[in-house]
Amino acid sequence: MIKKSEFHKSYNGHKDQLDYFIEHFDEIGTPFGNQDRNSLKLFELNNKTLNVKSFRVPNIFNQIAYRFFRKSKAERSFEYANKLKQLDIGTPQPIAYFEFTTALLFKKSFYISEQVNCDLTYRELTTDLNYPDYETILRAFTRFTFDLHEKGVHFLDHSPGNTLILKEVNDYKFYLVDLNRMEFKQLDFESRVKNFSKLTTHKSIVEIMSNEYAKCLGESYDKVFDLMWKETLAFQEKYHRKRRLKKKLKFWKRA
């Protein structure tokens, strides 16, 4: 197996220990969060908690693509995290990524970052409409998203579980996670507003975000809301259509 790795300069002195974590990932570390798609574990290093994400082995077509034509999810996560840091956008400190390949196929990959212990994620705002300081957090999140767009960041996985929120004395800080799908470019009005479409099914939340985003843009509320709600409904229809199709496929397989 061929190994490739890259480390953030602040962790160059810990390469051996990080190598050890990866080599023994299956036996050590503390499982963390949802393990359905990829495996996440926490490790301790010099009084810091590290978050190690093990990406599942891709299908055979992507094993060829990642081996020869595309950057892996781990490499992109590391690269994009460093770009976000340069732009002063919140994301857990990137530490390293590892890839394991054969001569012809891509196999395992890992992304390591510092663990951020958040107070909540955006998801909690969609499940508890009475969360303390609810509207203040939503408006701060909307301004955070506006800052992303102003800096040319198009976060393609801008969805409920991918923003960590930390409460400070008089403010909130936001950290993006699951970074492997991003574009860095200037965004037009439609792309900006459509970027909110995966965040909620609640019209009341869309109304608040539209109001705050319209203020940031200097556009009319109606113009922002009409497009944001339209794109939200379109995304939900597409999402549920896919789920119905998957259920049918599972039924046919069982039959």
pLDDT in tens, 52-98: 999 999 999 999 999 999 999 999 999 999 999 999 999 999 999 99
CA–CA separation, 119 and 91 (whole Å): 15
Give CATH 1.10.510 domain extents, the chain: 120-241
Give CATH 3.30.200 domain extents, the chain: 2-114
Nearest to 209 by CA among 113, 126, 127: 126
Which DSSP category does 37 fall into? Answer: S
Let me know if domain 120-241 sits in CATH 1.10.510: yes
CA–CA separation, 58 and 61 (whole Å): 8
**Rounded mean pLDDT, 22-46:** 91
Let me know if domain 2-114 sits in CATH 3.30.200: yes
Contact 122, 166 (CB under 8 A): no
Nearest to 163 by CA among 188, 132, 140: 140
Reported pTM: 0.92
State the pLDDT at residue 251: 54
